[in-house]
């Protein structure tokens, strides 16, 4: 195994034994030849290598095996089969409350956990004030943690995890408990650790956090690795799988029945793109065409290039194949990591559509500017009956395009550049000479 690899799992599986009734465990002890157990394989044949300094997002549905995988890497679980190699001090923030004694005070738990992570007594004493300041729970640090709210608990647990100089940091969804201000503080601290070379595994249902923080992502489903790659690609596959599972179908042309065969023809309609679009939805209506026009009214070609802050027009053509009780059409302009930078929909722009009968054809136009940092971007277009309903069609990477630098030579430092008014006020306060006297 290369020295650059921080975590290596080879053919790792984990099986849990379960009993239908508590008494079955006793029966099995007394009658060893008659097994009363049923087996549940939480993980199956996992092969994974993570290089030092990488930040990897782990996604998957509830029960897919994400937490089991992290517990094996954190060495709080032993795999049933396979080999696990972890190089470096691991600091893990797993299930809320794991590793904390509820009878101990916050201070005592800080020292207890830090000692388990390998710090000396003096090292912990040197870091305690920093940990307490980050947690910011006041005098509760001297109270038993069983008196803490969930928010205070996660504050202290995270403060310990990120301030003990970890080489590998594991965070499993715990940050969702903290308040908004603390979540921002945690994200800044995690980014600082990542920038310093700490290998990080991050489980979250927040796709934006995965796409923003991580170098790569892994999707677990049914105890196996379903997909791996860039965060945006994995998130798209994850959302597609969730949609297909909820609908009880796989959206593939060869599986479409005779009653909907015309949909296959409609999906062959042209979508301007340089990357294969990915789509999902319940198919009550389909986005049949997407066009993007520049400020001169010319339709974009296969490799669209727009000027900085250029005004563009997006045209979405919709076909309705089952009656809709309502209709919202919207779009996002996303960066290469899948972060949504510009977007809106017909409801938010005060253009409600309402009910649509089967067979209706609709064309929707959006006009907006591109005040974006010079880079490549993609267009996501979607539609649903209302905000809480399943989307009837959602297309990622519908169009991929470039934005050029401003003609003025101005450097764009943020992702989005908006007009900003700046005033420099010249002041000449009277100086008191006695202040300048030395000695």
Mean per-residue pLDDT for 61-85? 90
pLDDT of 88 over the 60 cut: yes
pLDDT in tens, 20-40: 677 766 666 666 666 667 788
Say what the pLDDT of residue 300 is.
85
Q: Which of 34-38, 195-199, 248-252, 294-298 has the lowest mean pLDDT?
A: 248-252
**pLDDT of 248 above 60:** no
The pLDDT value given to residue 409? 86
Statement: residue 435 has pLDDT above 70: no
Spell out the long-range contacts of 209-215 with Cβ–Cβ below 8 A and sequence spacing 24 or more.
Answer: 209/57, 210/57, 210/59, 210/234, 210/235, 211/57, 211/235, 211/337, 211/338, 211/339, 212/337, 212/339, 213/55, 213/57, 213/187, 214/55, 214/56, 214/57, 215/54, 215/55, 215/56
Query: Is the separation of the CB atoms in 107 and 100 below 8 Å?
Result: no
The pLDDT of residue 259 is 38
Q: What percentage of the chain carries pLDDT values higher than 90?
A: 43
Q: Per-residue confidence at 44, pLDDT binned at 50, 70, 90?
A: very high
The SS3 assignment for 202 reads strand
Split at pLDDT 50, 70, 90, the class of 246 is low
Average pLDDT of span 247-276: 40
Give the model confidence (pLDDT) of 101-134 as tens digits.
889 999 999 998 888 877 888 988 998 999 998 8
Looking at residue 255, its pLDDT comes to 34
Residue with tokens 């006793």: 26
- Looking at residue 215, the DSSP 8-state letter turns out to be S
| Helix spans in 291-413 (H) | none
Spatial separation of the C-alpha atoms in residues 167 and 89, rounded to whole Å: 5
Of 334, 438, 328, 329, nearest to 380 (Cα)? 334
Helix (H) or strand (E) segment spanning residue 396: strand 391-403
What distances in angstroms separate CA 306 from CA 11, 188, 223, 372, one per listed residue? 48, 33, 44, 10
Q: Where are the domains of the chain?
A: 5-238, 261-403
- Average pLDDT over the chain, rounded to whole? 83
Residue 387's pLDDT band, with cuts at 50, 70 and 90, is: very high
| pLDDT per position as a tens digit, 95-109 | 655 668 889 999 999
From the list 209, 218, 193, the residue with the least C-alpha distance to 59 is: 218
Domain 261-403, second-level architecture: Distorted Sandwich (2.70)
What is the Rg, in whole angstroms, of the alpha carbon atoms belonging to the chain?
27
User: Going by DSSP bridges, is the β-strand pair 55-59/37-51 parallel, antiparallel, or unpaired?
Assistant: unpaired
Which residues have CB under 8 Å from 434's CB, separation 6+?
A: none
Chain centroid to Cα 430, Å, comes to 55
In this prediction, residue 263 carries a pLDDT of 37
Please compute the mean of the pLDDT values over residues 225-229 and round it to a whole number. Answer: 92
Decide which of 45 and 419 is more confident: 45
Question: Where do we find the tokens 């980014």?
Answer: 191
Tell me what pLDDT residue 362 has: 95
pLDDT, average across residues 347-365: 95
- Considering only residues 18 and 381, tell me which one the structure prediction assigns the higher pLDDT: 381
pLDDT tens across 164-223, in order?
888 999 888 766 555 677 777 887 888 888 889 999 998 888 787 888 888 899 999 999
Residue (of 192, 141, 143, 150) closest to 174 by Cα position: 150
What pLDDT score was predicted for residue 276?
62
Counting residues of the chain whose pLDDT is more than 70, the rounded percentage is 83
pLDDT at position 423 is 85
Q: Which of 162, 192, 195, 199 is nearest to 4 (CA)?
A: 199
Query: Spelled out in words, what is the top-level CATH class assigned to the domain 5-238?
Result: alpha beta
């Amino acid at each position: 195994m290369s020295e650059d690899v921080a975590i290596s799992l080879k053919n790792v599986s984990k099986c849990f034994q379960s009993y239908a009734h508590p008494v079955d465990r006793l029966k099995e002890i007394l009658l060893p030849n008659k097994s009363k157990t049923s087996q549940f394989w939480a993980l199956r044949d996992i092969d994974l290598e993570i290089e030092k300094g990488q930040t990897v997002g782990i996604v998957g549905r509830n029960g897919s095996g994400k937490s089991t995988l992290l517990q094996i890497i954190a060495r709080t679980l032993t795999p049933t089969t396979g080999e696990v190699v972890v190089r470096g001090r691991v600091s893990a923030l797993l299930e809320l409350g794991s590793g904390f004694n509820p009878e101990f005070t916050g201070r005592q738990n800080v020292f207890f956990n830090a000692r388990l992570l390998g710090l000396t007594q003096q090292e912990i004493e040197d870091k305690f004030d920093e940990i307490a300041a980050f947690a910011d729970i006041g005098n509760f640090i001297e109270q038993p943690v069983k008196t803490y709210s969930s928010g205070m608990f996660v504050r202290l647990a995270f403060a310990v995890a990120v301030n003990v100089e970890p080489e590998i940091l594991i965070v499993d969804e715990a940050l969702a408990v903290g308040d908004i201000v603390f979540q921002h503080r945690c994200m800044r601290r995690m980014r600082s650790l990542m920038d310093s070379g700490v290998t990080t595994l991050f489980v979250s249902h927040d796709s934006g956090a995965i796409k923003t923080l991580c170098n790569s992502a892994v999707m677990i489903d049914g105890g196996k690795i379903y997909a791996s790659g860039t965060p945006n690609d994995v998130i798209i596959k994850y959302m597609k799988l969730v949609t297909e599972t909820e609908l009880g179908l796989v959206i593939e042309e060869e599986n479409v029945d005779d009653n909907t065969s015309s949909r296959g023809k409609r999906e062959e309609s042209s979508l301007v793109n340089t990357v294969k679009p990915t789509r999902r939805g319940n198919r009550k209506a389909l986005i049949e065409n997407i066009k993007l026009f520049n400020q001169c009214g010319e339709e974009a070609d296969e490799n669209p290039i727009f000027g900085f802050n250029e005004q563009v027009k997006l045209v979405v053509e919709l076909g309705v194949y089952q009656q809709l009780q309502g209709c919202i059409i919207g779009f996002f302009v996303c960066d290469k990591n899948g972060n949504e930078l510009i977007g809106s929909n017909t409801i938010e722009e005060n253009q409600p559509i309402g009910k649509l009968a089967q067979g209706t054809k609709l064309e929707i136009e959006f006009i907006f500017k591109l005040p974006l940092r010079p880079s490549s971007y993609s267009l996501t277009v979607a539609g649903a009956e209302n905000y809480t309903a399943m989307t009837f069609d959602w297309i990622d990477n519908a169009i991929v395009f470039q934005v050029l630098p401003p003609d003025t030579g101005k450097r764009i430092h943020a992702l989005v550049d908006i007009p900003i008014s700046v005033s420099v006020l010249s002041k000449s306060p009277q100086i008191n000479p006695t202040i300048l006297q030395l000695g």
